[in-house]
Structure formats: C-alpha cells, structure tokens
Chain A
Amino acid sequence: MTDDPTPAADDAAEVSDADRRALDAWLPALPPAGFSDRVVAARPVVADPTLRRARRRRMAAWSAAAAAAAAAALVAYGALGTHAGTHAAHGELAASAERVTAQVGERAVVVAEPAAALRWTIAADGAADVTQPAGNVFYRVDHGGPLVVHTPAGDVRVTGTCFRVEVEMNKPTQMILAGAAGAAVATGVVITVYEGRVVADTHAARTELQAGTRTVLEPPGHTAVVAATAPAPVPATAPTLDVAHASRDQLVARIAAQDAELVRLRRVPAGEHPGGGLPFVEEPSPDGRPWHDPSPETLKEWAADCLVRYDQPGFDHPAVAGDHGLTADELPEYDAAVSGVQQKFTTLVRTLYLATTNDTAGAETLSLDAMIQEINAKAPPGEDRVDRATLAQERAGMIPKPADTTHEPPLEQLLRAQMALGDQTQAALADRLGADRAAAIRGESFGMRYQKNGCPQPAGK
C-alpha cells in the first residue's frame, strides 16, 4: 500500500456493525499480574524528578542578557506559585524605541523590534500564552509544553520551533508583499517559520506551516502561503521602517534583514551577551579535528579569545534509535551511562547552589536548570569572564589546573563541571559500549553543544 493523502469519505470509511463484531472477537492480551510493580521498579533512577530538558539551559544562559536588554521596556512580575521548579508568571513588553530581547517563561526567548508589544502568561505547567497585538517579534521556543501567540488575525501554536510574527496594523500585508497599492484595510499578520513547524489558527482556517515557509493571516481568516521558502538571510541589520510609507522593495529588504537576525542569534559570540552561552554550535573545529577536541594551536587561539566549548547529553530528553548514531540495542546502555553522569552532576549543582544561596528548600525542589541559573545570577559581575579566561588557558596548557578546585567560586566550579560532562559521558559510554563506539557517538554529537567566549573587561569599562 502507498500513502495517499487524498482524504477518504469519513462515512464510507467506517466499518459495518458486522465487521465491528468481528473485530471485537479479537481479544487483546492482558497485562500479567504484578506488571505495574515491575514497571515501577524498572523506572530509571533519576535523582531529581524535576529536571528540565537540558536544552532549557540555553534559555537560562540567555536570561541574563534578556533581563539586561529588556530593562527599559520589560515589566515582568511575580512568580505566583511554585511547584517542582515550575512557576506561573506574567510578563509584558511595552512598545519601545529599541530592539528588546526577553525571556518568556523558561522555554522561549523573544526578540522584539521597536514598537512591538507583547504580554504573556506562563502557567504552572510551563504552557505559555502570549498576546502580540502589534509589531515584529522573533520567537525561539524550546520544546516542551505548548506556546500560543494570539495575534489580531489568529493564533499561532507551537511546541518547539523558531519563527517570527509580524503584525502590521492597518496595512494589508499580503498586498504589501505582492507590491500592490491599496488603501489600508485591515491588520495583516505575517508568520515566517525558520525551524520546526507551527499551526496557524484563524476563525476560518487551520494551517500547518513548515520550516521555510511564510504565511499571511488576514481577518476574517484568509490564509495564504505567499513564499515557498523564507528569504535567504543576508548580513544586514534590520532597519526600522515606517511601513505606512515604505515601498515594496523596502519592505522586502526589511524582511530579509530581519531574517538575518536568526543567523546573528545563532552565531553571535556569547561574550556579547552578559553571562550568555550559545547552544548548538555545530561548526567543526577549524583544524578539522572533532568538535570537542581541537588541536593545541586552536586551543591557544581560543584562549586568546577566552573561548570555551563543551558538549553534553540532553539529560531528560531521552534519545531514540538514530539519535547520535545510536542503534536500538545501544539505547539502554546510553541511557544508563547518561543517567550516571546526570546524577553526579545534579549532586554537584545542588552543593554549589546551597553554597551560593543557603537555600536548603530550593536545593530540594528546584530544577537543575533553575539552580544553574541562580548560580549564574548570583555570581559577582564579570566573574564568568574571568572563569572563561582561566579555563580556556588551562585547557590550552598555558596555566596549570589547580589540584583542588573545591574551594574555587561556585560559578567556576559549575563551569568546570559543565566542561567535563562530555568527557564523563564518553568515559561512561566507553565502559558499556567500548571506546570506539563511545568516541563515534560523541563525534555524532551528544546533542548539546555550547560555546562561550568573551574576556574580562578592562578596568573602568
């Protein structure tokens, strides 16, 4: 049989009563006695059941940058309650004269262009409900619970993706893109999907949008894909534009420039973001060696830039066959190896969190990522840069590594631990699958790769 997307008539597709009775003759197997006991006993040992997906760490890394950049325009208020590391919260991004980056809940980062407005509510389970009445906002949403963006023309629903929503007040966006002239008639909303997929809901239509497409929503619900592929990013800075008086070429140029923001967000050195780190740095080492194992010469170059790299597995993002080159038979071994590394790391982070905050209750309930975020947030300004410089030089062999690091500041200990996760995982895998397979799997990537740079600022800056 082939897969034919042509819908069949629903009523003609149902089974008859006679066939129904025949189907019911096929009794299923029942679970054996004690099955639930067996399953409960086989649960993986997870030290911290509140662990969030490791990818959220990048959100934590961005949060400091978001807070600083958004200070002039962002009003975020109150955790309304806590449960197992989650929190309910509200936030608002008022129209600003500048581009603003902000964290929306624990899973999303937004970059709002000037004049964009945004408000959001994060439910205790992490679900994000965002309202964007105006402006141009880029969203990067980590996988997890749903995130819905309400726009004047419809809703955009995602679970994990990278996309942009542009709300053009009193401007028929489809006409703008088509270069047509006409009176302002309605609000238009342009959705551009860069990664993953989103679902656009209007009163009249539901449309699933794939990566690389751009779609216009217009009240009362007309939906049309106006570009098969998103424009190729160009190295430009998104200009501020008065859309009411802009030409078609200006608008198209602006869209292309805005798309370049995606590239900037992916590639900008983390040092430009206070405390920042970039995930998914997929560029190979410049010397052709494995991503995590550059040559001594490259390490010295990195040390000059206070650049460090580290990789790690996604702790609570279970691998499936095919991930990282894993076969189905290797999955249990991989899970066990990662679980062991995860437990040790979690234990250390709890210790560092306690040393940083003296918050015993928090150490027992906060998620791993929340504790990491707190450790970062409470470090003295600039310490992250000093730590990067130190560790980059150590790794390049320019300075010796201390024999005992347990007396170093918590943030330095944390970074050391993060930078060791890749080696620890590979070693644990080697014990189970052999050194060659462990190296090969790491070469495919454990799934999470980070790069941070930025040297200490000279005094007075």
Chain B
Amino acid sequence: MLAVAAPPPPAELDALALRRAAAGDEAATRALVELYQVRVFALVSRMLVGRGRATVEDVAQDTFLHVFRKLGAFDPAGPARLSSWILTIAARRAIDELRRARPTLVADIDPEDPGRGADERSTRRELVAAIERALASLSPPLRAAFLLREYHGLDYAEIARALDIELGTVKSRLARARAELRVQLAEVKP
C-alpha cells in the first residue's frame, strides 16, 4: 500500500509580511521564499521532468525573482491567492523553459522514501514512469493545468486565469489528461 501524504495546509503569507516583502524587506522576502519554495519546486520539478536538477533550480529561482519584481502589483483582495499567483508565475516560467529548449535528458533526482522496501520502490517507480509518460504526451500548458489541479488544488477558474485560457478549455484539457493518465496507469497497475 502506498502512503498517501496529506497535502500541506494552504498557508499564505500574512498581510503585513506581504507588504514588507513588496517593499523589499529582506526578512519578509526570505519568509516568502521559505513559505512557497516547496510548492514552487514541486510544480517546477514535475513540469520539467527530465530537464535535470539544475534547470529546476534555475526556473524556481527565476520564479521568485519575478515574484519580487511583480509583488507590488499583487492584490491580496483580488481573486487569486498569493500561492496561486506564485504558482502561476512558476507554471509560466516552466512552460517558457519547455518551449525554449529541447529537452536535455538528465537523470532527475528521484526523491526516495527510505522507509519503503525494494518491491514498493519498484512499484512506485513504475507508477511514476507511467505518470511521466502520460504527462509527456501533453503540451506544456496542458501539463501545467494538470499539475496545478491535481497537485496544487487550484480550481478551474484559477487555472483558467493562470494559463489565460477559457474555463471550458481547462475542463476539456484536464479530462483528456486524466484519460491519458488512466491509460498509462492501467498498464502498470496490478
């Protein structure tokens, strides 16, 4: 049985820290990075599977630098949560990276769970490979839509805004992505 990790609580930077970060306060900007870096890495690493650790780190860092530059324009009272807004930037940066360069096949760091046995690790690798195959068949925006929905819990409207596509397109894209996923997983599931 695979362990299903509970998603982290959707913590957001408090309003005061947000204002300080927007004003360039170093401690606040550091707090912002520390609060959102795991989510950004999760999205970017899955978007850029096969591109290597260095590329993932570069895009993640670029995401935060862009966040800093644009933070003054973020509206806390607007429709987007700060986390969604940051993930939007991360997704777009990753999409740019996917479109910009041909993939350089680099062995990704595979985060291992040391508590698992060899059989379980093998099963997990097969599942991950199936997911990666499913995602590999998707265009970068579609891949982003799928990841934002399934791993980061963005709702359809948030994804539509993030990727600048129609709500209906989001739903149809995700339906197709899930269908592809089911096909791939059916080949490896016991």
> A: which residues have CB within 8 A of B?
1, 3-10, 12-16, 18-32, 35-40, 42-44, 46, 49-50, 52-53, 83-84, 123, 125, 127, 143-146, 316, 318, 321, 328
Chain A residues positioned under 8 Å from B132 (CB to CB): 26
Contacts A19-B182, A35-B60, A36-B33 known; A1 to B142 CB distance under 8 Å? yes
Tell me the residues in window 161-190 of chain B with beta carbons closer than 8 Å to chain A beta carbons: 165-169, 171-176, 178, 181-182, 185, 189
Beyond the given A23-B181, A25-B123, A127-B78, please list 4 additional residue pairs across the A-B interface where CB-CB is below 8 A.
A4-B169, A18-B189, A35-B37, A42-B65
Nearest CB of chain B from residue A83's CB, rounded to whole Å: 7
Nearest CB of chain B from residue A168's CB, rounded to whole Å: 29
Contacts A22-B130, A25-B128 known; A316 to B72 CB distance under 8 Å? yes
Interface contacts (Cβ under 8 Å), in number, total 172
CB <8 Å contact, A49 and B166: no
Q: How far is the CA of A31 from the CA of B109 in the complex (A)?
A: 12
Nearest CB of chain A from residue B14's CB, rounded to whole Å: 14
CB <8 Å contact, B41 and A316: no
Q: How far is the CA of A31 from the CA of B46 in the complex (A)?
A: 13
Q: What would be 18 A-B contacts, judged by CB atoms less than 8 Å apart?
A: A5-B168, A5-B172, A8-B174, A10-B156, A13-B171, A18-B189, A22-B189, A23-B131, A30-B111, A35-B37, A39-B29, A39-B61, A42-B65, A125-B75, A127-B75, A146-B75, A316-B69, A318-B66
Contact partner, A1, options B30, B37, B128, B138, Cβ 8 Å: B138
Contact partner, A15, options B56, B70, B181, Cβ 8 Å: B181
Q: How far is the CA of A46 from the CA of B25 in the complex (A)?
A: 12
Q: How far is the CA of A16 from the CA of B185 in the complex (A)?
A: 12
Contact partner, A30, options B38, B100, B113, B171, Cβ 8 Å: B38
Chain A residues positioned under 8 Å from B127 (CB to CB): 22, 25-26
Main secondary structure of the interface of B (DSSP, over half): helix
The proximity string for B residues 100-139 relative to A, scoring 1 for CB distances below 8 Å and 0 otherwise, is 1000000011110100000000011001101110000111
The list of the 8 closest CB pairs from A to B, nearest first, reads A49-B24, A28-B42, A29-B45, A8-B175, A7-B168, A36-B33, A27-B111, A5-B168
Q: How far is the CA of A437 from the CA of B45 in the complex (A)?
A: 34
B57 close to chain A: CB less than 8 A = yes
Chain A residues positioned under 8 Å from B151 (CB to CB): 23, 28
> B: which residues have CB within 8 A of A?
2-5, 19, 22-24, 26, 29-30, 33-34, 37-38, 40-43, 45-46, 53, 56-57, 60-61, 64-66, 68-70, 72-73, 75-78, 96, 100, 108-111, 113, 123-124, 127-128, 130-132, 137-139, 142, 150-151, 156, 165-169, 171-176, 178, 181-182, 185, 189
Nearest CB of chain B from residue A333's CB, rounded to whole Å: 15
Contacts A23-B151, A26-B46, A43-B65 known; A5 to B169 CB distance under 8 Å? yes
Chain A residues positioned under 8 Å from B43 (CB to CB): 28
Chain B residues positioned under 8 Å from A4 (CB to CB): 168-169, 172-173
Q: How far is the CA of A125 from the CA of B76 in the complex (A)?
A: 9
Chain A residues positioned under 8 Å from B142 (CB to CB): 1
Chain B residues positioned under 8 Å from A145 (CB to CB): 73, 75, 78
Chain B residues positioned under 8 Å from A19 (CB to CB): 178, 181-182, 185
Chain A residues positioned under 8 Å from B128 (CB to CB): 25-26
From B73, which residue of chain A is reached at the shortest CB distance? A144
Chain A residues positioned under 8 Å from B33 (CB to CB): 35-36, 39-40
Nearest CB of chain A from residue B179's CB, rounded to whole Å: 9
Q: How far is the CA of A26 from the CA of B134 in the complex (A)?
A: 13
From A16, which residue of chain B is reached at the shortest CB distance? B182
